[in-house]
């Protein structure tokens, strides 16, 4: 299937295509012709948040391991856990704010 477009139309197609992670115009045009729309969700920020959450989880696991090893929990352990939980709540707020 072949069709002609004006230079203005070609530029509009390129601009819309630049919003997506694709460089193949054929794939883009087929998807648009069949579905009529493409929903692209940029997951970059969510991936960053997940990485931070994973690091926080690792810290909490280290604290738990230390407590289990010594069979004692100290005020500093509780404070560390509270700090990590606070970091999680802050991350959650940032995630929710980034979605708006």
Q: What local confidence, expressed as pLDDT, does residue 7 receive?
A: 95
Q: Are 47 and 64 in contact (CB under 8 A)?
A: no
Would the pLDDT of 54 be above 80?
yes
Would the pLDDT of 6 be above 90?
yes
Q: What local confidence, expressed as pLDDT, does residue 11 receive?
A: 93
What are 76-92's pLDDT values in tens digits?
A: 888 888 888 888 888 88
Q: Are 88 and 53 in contact (CB under 8 A)?
A: yes
Structure tokens at 37: 């729309």
The span from the CA of 40 to the CA of 38, in Å, is: 6
The span from the CA of 15 to the CA of 73, in Å, is: 58
The pTM score is 0.49
Q: Are 53 and 93 in contact (CB under 8 A)?
A: no
Would the pLDDT of 53 be above 90?
no
């Amino acid at each position: 299937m072949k069709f002609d477009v004006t230079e203005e139309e070609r530029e509009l197609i390129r601009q819309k295509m630049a919003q997506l992670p694709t460089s193949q115009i054929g794939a883009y045009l087929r998807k648009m012709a069949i579905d009529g729309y493409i929903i692209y969700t940029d997951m970059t920020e969510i991936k960053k948040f997940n990485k931070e959450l994973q690091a926080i989880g690792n810290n909490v696991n280290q604290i738990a391991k230390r407590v289990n090893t010594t069979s004692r929990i100290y005020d500093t352990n509780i404070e560390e856990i509270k700090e990590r939980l606070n970091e999680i709540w802050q991350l959650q707020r940032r995630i929710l704010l980034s979605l708006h």
